[in-house]
């Protein structure tokens, strides 16, 4: 695991020449980078940039982590009561599938 201060040595010399325009230029590529769909050339440029720009390195890592955390967010279930009202509204009560007994956690 990386610690936030591991790259500090790079940063000192970089700080005052920190080129916000450069960072802004890469902003539009970060989402594609995280998805692995960024073109090779831009990808190399971006990787070169984040090797010297700690802020962008953190943004890239935490952006990827944000997406991963949302992928892991548990999905809400369709409660049985909502499902049964749906079949009623749609006039399909004859086709209600066998209720899954014992799934109380659905009920909220």
Is 42 a residue that touches another protein (CB under 8 A)?
Answer: no
How near is the Cβ of 22 to Zn ion at its closest, in Å?
Answer: 6
Q: Rank residues 48 and 81 by Cβ distance to another protein and give the closer one.
A: 81
Instruction: Find out whether 105 and 77 touch, Cβ atoms under 8 Å.
Output: yes
Residue 50 burial by Cβ neighbours in a 10 Å radius (0-12, 13-18, 19+):
buried
Residues 44-73 close enough to bind another protein by CB under 8 A: 54-55, 58-59, 61-63, 65-67, 69-73
Among 13, 21, 24, 100, binds another protein (CB under 8 A): 24
Among 47, 85, 99, 103, binds another protein (CB under 8 A): 85
Name the percent of the chain in helix, strand, coil, to the closest 5: 65, 0, 35
3-state secondary structure of 83: helix
Among 14, 23, 30, 83, binds Zn ion (CB under 5 A): 23
């Amino acid at each position: 695991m990386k610690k936030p201060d591991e790259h500090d040595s790079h940063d000192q010399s970089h700080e005052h020449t920190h080129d916000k325009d450069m960072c802004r230029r890469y902003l539009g590529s970060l989402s594609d980078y995280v998805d692995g769909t960024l073109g090779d050339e831009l990808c190399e440029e971006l990787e070169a940039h984040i090797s010297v720009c700690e802020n962008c390195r953190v943004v890239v890592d935490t952006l990827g982590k944000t997406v991963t955390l949302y992928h892991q967010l548990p999905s809400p279930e369709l409660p049985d009561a909502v499902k049964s009202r749906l079949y009623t509204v749609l006039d399909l009560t004859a086709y209600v599938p066998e209720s899954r007994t014992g799934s109380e956690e659905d009920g909220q």
